[in-house]
Each structure stands twice: as C-alpha cells, then as structure tokens.
Amino acid sequence: MIKVDISNVWGELSLADMLQCEQEVFDAHMLLSEGKGPGNDFLGWLKLPTFEETEEMRRIQRAADKIRSDSEVFVVVGIGGSYLGPRAAIELVNGSHHNLKKGNPQIFFAGNNLSTNAWLELCQLLEGKDFSINIISKSGTTTEPAIATRALLLMMDRKYGAKAKERIYVTTDSAKGALRQMATEEGYETFIIPPNVGGRYSVLTAVGLLPMAVAGMKPTDVMLGAARARKDMDIRSFENPVWQYAAIRNLLYRKGKKIEILGSYEPNFRYFAGWWQQLFGESEGKDGKGIFPATVEFTADLHSLGQMIQEGERNIFETIVRFAPPAKQVEIGLNAKNLDGLNYLKGRTLDFVEEQAFQGTLAAHVDGGVPNIVLQADEICADTLGELFYFFELSCGVSAYMLGVNPFNQPGVEYYKRNMFKLLGKPGY
Ligand code: PA5
C-alpha cells in the first residue's frame, strides 16, 4: 500500500493539529462513502475497481487486440478528464518516448487544443499509416474534440471509405450528446462512461482502459491495483494514507500554504502530475477557495523552480511521489583521466545518486520553510498505476469535502466557453 511520510511537516504543524481534525476527516470520508455530500450523483467511480475481470474489461481487451493488429497508429481524441488519464498512464508506464519504441502502435493525442500547427503535425504523422481512432467525450459536445473528430472522420472516409467505421471507437455517455447520436447512427463500436462518473474521475472506465490496453497494459492489472487500494483505503483511521494526505494538505492550507507542488524524480511522471493537477484543480478550486495545484519534474526543475521553492514567498508545500527502485540498476564507471572529477562516484548506482538528490533537496526545502509530504509507491507498473489513480481520487473527494466544496462540479469552466461561443456566433449564444 502507498505509504505517506508526514515526518517533514512537523515544523509547520503539530500532532495536536492533526488529531484535532480526526473527526473532520472521518465526517468527510463518511459523506463520500454514504453518498450524502454535495455532488453525490457522481460517486460511481468509488466502486469501479473490482478484482474480477468484467465483461467490459474483456470487450476493451478485444477491441485493443484488434487495434494492435490492424493499426500502426492509434489517435485518442479528448480533452480534460477525457484525455489526461490515458496520457498519464501511458507515459508513466511505457515512457514519454513510447512512440519511438517498437511493439505497440504509436499513440497520438488530438482534440485537446485548437492549434493549427498541432493539427498539421498530426496530419503529417498519419500520412501513409494505417490508423484507428478513439473519440472520448462524456458530454459528446465539447468543441475541441468535436472539431478534431470532424476532420479525422473526413480523413478516414477518404482513406477507408465504408470500412472506416471498423476503425472508430467511441467512449461516451450511454444516451446523451451529439457523439452518442453519431455513434448510434453510424454504427461505431462504443464504450460507456457511466452517468455517475464525472470526466476527471473516469480514468478507470474505458476512457483510460482502452488506450492503456492498446499501449500493451492489461486492464485487469490496472484494476487489480485499484481494487486493492479500494479495499485497503476503506479504513476509518489515520492509518489510512488517504486520511493522512487529505488532512495534512488541508491543515497546511489553513496555515497559509495555498500552493501544493506535486513532483517526482521520474520524468515519465509529468503527465500523471498533469492528471493530478486537473483532478484537484477542478474539484477544489471554487467558491473562492482551493489549494492551487502546481507540478514539477525533479531534478530538472531544481534548475528552474528550485530557487523559487527554496526562497520565494512561503506559501507552498510539496508532495513528492517516490517509486521503489527499478530492478535493473545502472552503475557509474571509472574513468582513468577523471577529467570530469566524477570518480568519487565510481561503482555507485544512478539510483543511489538520485536518492541523495532527493534527500538533499527534501532537507533543503524543509529548512527553507516548505513542508514536504512524501508518498512512497511500489515500482512503476500497471498495478501501481491503478493504486495511485484510486488513492488520489479518494483523497481528492475527502479533501474537497474537508474544504467545504462540491468536488464533482466545475461551473467555472463554462465562463470561457460562453464568451468563445458568442464570439464564434454559435446559435443560442
Ligand atoms: O473533469 C471534467 O469533467 C472535465 O475536465 C471534462 O472531462 C472535460 O471538460 C471534457 O469533457 P467531455 O468529456 O464532456 O468532452
């Protein structure tokens, strides 16, 4: 199980602070599990993980096997909660350079921007390649993926004619939205985002599982980690890592630590941090409240944001995700001339050096007034991924209820859309 090390927050908080909020965490967890809090019609994600393979998981695996056998490229179209989860999963487990490796279809993401350059680049990448697409949109009406979908469908129609539909997979609501209507009329294979699962809590549905399966992960492995988390993290005490994380971040917020920086020493964690950022940002940032979720990639960002973290305004805390060391280790060699002066590290593993960088940075930041929460996870794999997804989703629900906001709506996102639609002359705006 994920371990939360809170030993580096005590300069800022006391054990008494933590114990004082025990009832509050209990109440927030109960609100969530009993479905009595605001937004309680969006709690389907709580019960998604199962130890047993479901028919849905088998169907996802079958679709993925077909895509893997007939497509050189797989294009995943979606934005926000319909984009960040699959990308986070694929980059963390297969690496951010996964498209340069052999064995899996290349996976590109579209419909998450309105950039002409990004679209033209995708067109170039698809030239001469056999590809399939997965259109993901819960509402089925979001502008960015809808525009990309229209263009991709035209491209596929020209390339594959009547056979195009065999390469189109739609993940959407069971009944509502233009995308559902289109899928039904055109006869595309569809996967359902349950009505009680909101976008940013949907990674453990087909939203995340189909792209993950195309990337070679087994949906059952991801679900195993998530199901274990669901079981282990149901306890109602501070032994629960969810309780520790949710309580500490709220207590720090109340002490003026308004920004949480999530980071890791794994470059492949970048998109996972992006998924976390959206999860917490859209869930908590409302009613004039919310911890601002920022992300870093260490050690690279120690040479960028390190100065700000060490000595800037003291309104931040850090959460660092650590993974168990990889089984394969890399040693630093001896160089006879030692012109780089690195012989003092000969025989040390790269992982050892990384650990010292982590320890050194932790001590420096804590000394500089930046409390640190350290989350220790197992080695990076599909199972650990499932556990992390569920841990953060549950923590987010509990934490947002402690903050006193509805974690499952996002009314603020509509503002820019209204302005944009007005400017575009969309009927009704
Ligand atoms: O978390 C959310 O609900 C949002 O970020 C949505 O996922 C995002 O706006 C995309 O919406 P849709 O899946 O309806 O296209």
Which of 41, 76, 77, 79 has the most ligand 1 atoms within 8 A of CB, as the residue to mutate?
79
Taking the CA of residue 136 as reference, the ligand 1 atom at the shortest distance is 13
Please tell me if the CB atom of residue 180 comes closer than 6 angstroms to any atom of ligand 1.
no
Task: Reduce the DSSP state of residue 326 to 3 states and report it.
Answer: coil
Q: Answer yes or no: are the C-beta atoms of 275 and 92 closer than 8 Å.
A: no
Q: What is the pLDDT of residues 189-205, one digit of tens each?
A: 999 999 999 999 999 99
Mean pLDDT of 17-26: 97
In the reported structure, the alpha carbon of residue 283 is separated from the centroid of ligand 1 by a whole-number distance in angstroms of 12
Taking the CA of residue 80 as reference, the ligand 1 atom at the shortest distance is 5
Please tell me if the CB atom of residue 172 comes closer than 6 angstroms to any atom of ligand 1.
no
In the reported structure, the alpha carbon of residue 80 is separated from the centroid of ligand 1 by a whole-number distance in angstroms of 5
**Which pair of tokens denotes residue 291?**
């911890």
Task: State the pLDDT confidence band at 162, using cuts at 50, 70 and 90.
Answer: very high
* Dihedral angle over CA of 149, 150, 153, 158, nearest 10: -150
Residue 248: the pLDDT is 98
Residue 122: the pLDDT is 98
Which of 109, 134, 138, 277 has the most ligand 1 atoms within 8 A of CB, as the residue to mutate?
138
Task: State the pLDDT confidence band at 311, using cuts at 50, 70 and 90.
Answer: very high
In the reported structure, the alpha carbon of residue 63 is separated from the centroid of ligand 1 by a whole-number distance in angstroms of 23
Residue 79: the pLDDT is 98
In the reported structure, the alpha carbon of residue 139 is separated from the centroid of ligand 1 by a whole-number distance in angstroms of 7
Q: What are phi and psi of 107, to 5 degrees?
A: -120, 120
* Prediction pTM value: 0.97
Residue 310: the pLDDT is 98
Q: Whose CA is nearest to atom 15 of ligand 1?
A: 137
Task: State the pLDDT confidence band at 327, using cuts at 50, 70 and 90.
Answer: very high
* Separation of alpha carbons 142 and 148, rounded Å: 10
Q: What is the pLDDT of residues 61-105, one digit of tens each?
A: 999 999 999 999 999 999 999 999 999 999 999 999 999 999 999
Please tell me if the CB atom of residue 274 comes closer than 6 angstroms to any atom of ligand 1.
no
Mean pLDDT of 358-376: 98
* Separation of alpha carbons 233 and 390, rounded Å: 9
* Separation of alpha carbons 44 and 42, rounded Å: 6
Task: State the pLDDT confidence band at 408, using cuts at 50, 70 and 90.
Answer: very high
Separation in Å, CA 195 to CA 41, 161, 382, 415: 9, 33, 26, 23
In the reported structure, the alpha carbon of residue 429 is separated from the centroid of ligand 1 by a whole-number distance in angstroms of 20
Please tell me if the CB atom of residue 202 comes closer than 6 angstroms to any atom of ligand 1.
no
Please tell me if the CB atom of residue 372 comes closer than 6 angstroms to any atom of ligand 1.
no
Return the active site residues.
282, 303, 417
* Separation of alpha carbons 248 and 343, rounded Å: 42
Give the CB-side neighbour count of residue 320, counting CA atoms within 13 A.
Answer: 25
Closest CA to 388 of 96, 49, 136: 49
Q: Whose CA is nearest to atom 12 of ligand 1?
A: 137
